[in-house]
Chain A
Amino acid sequence: DTEVTQTPKHLVMGMTNKKSLKCEQHMGHRAMYWYKQKAKKPPELMFVYSYEKLSINESVPSRFSPECPNSSLLNLHLHALQPEDSALYLCASSLVDQGTVNTEAFFGQGTRLTVV
């Protein structure tokens, strides 16, 4: 299994809603990532988890709250988002933290988020 699975594929939420994005991998990877991608732009790193601990937060607003319940799961909790937060949210995983060892990251298909 070389897949990173993200749910839901699409999400529309109001600015007062609370929702969560989910990511799962069963490759035994110990590093997991959240990226944000706007249309026609490259992915931008948001968070890095290494061995279930948050290792990098790229100055992301607190309305985005990541959680890593175990080595296979990664969540992104959303609250009080703004319309400009609409984007494709990508989850990725790698064997270990790329800050430690050069290794490829595998990406999920993303969640297309629209904030209305």
Chain B
Amino acid sequence: GESVGLHLPTLSVQEGDNSIINCAYSNSASDYFIWYKQESGKGPQFIIDIRSNMDKRQGQRVTVLLNKTVKHLSLQIAATQPGDSAVYFCAENNPGSARQLTFGSGTQLTVLP
């Protein structure tokens, strides 16, 4: 079946470095994507979204890139901080499907001092 997946289950970066978290999706009909951050013991927190008519969207210290040709999504975090340590999920929405948001498997980001 079609699914959203991530390339790496864990990622460790030095504090102050930039982080890149990748996500592959296989449903070509999906036209909306969201990145969520989930800290231990908490619910997912919305970070940034992007629609399929865009290639790039920037927020505060975060950038999402969408490559529809290869069905790839990435989240870039600039100047990674200890508070960025969390599990990051990408999620896709295919409005033509009753499935609503489909989450990827998640990447654990650990920021090293």
Chain A residues engaging chain B, CB cutoff 8 angstroms: 4, 6, 33, 40-45, 48, 56, 90, 92, 97-102, 104-110, 112
Contacts and interface: CB of A to CB of B under 8 A. Distances in A.
A109 B41 CA distance: 8
A106 B46 contact: yes
Interface of B: 31-32, 34, 36, 41-46, 49, 51, 89, 93, 95, 97-101, 103-106
Given A42-B103, A98-B93, A98-B100, A104 B49 contact: yes
Contacts of B103: 42-44
Given A42-B105, A104-B49, A56 B43 contact: no
- Which of B41, B43, B46 is most buried by chain A, counting CB atoms within 10 A of its CB? B43
A109 to B, nearest CB: 5
A4 B46 CA distance: 12
Nearest 7 Cβ contacts at the A-B interface: A42-B103, A102-B32, A107-B43, A107-B44, A109-B43, A98-B100, A110-B43
B43 A90 contact: yes
Given A41-B105, A43-B103, 10 more contacts: A33-B100, A40-B106, A44-B103, A45-B99, A98-B93, A98-B95, A99-B97, A102-B51, A102-B95, A105-B46
Given A42-B89, A42-B103, A42-B104, A56 B46 contact: no
Contact of A45 (B43, B51, B100): B100
A87 B96 CA distance: 29
- Which of B41, B44, B104 is most buried by chain A, counting CB atoms within 10 A of its CB? B44
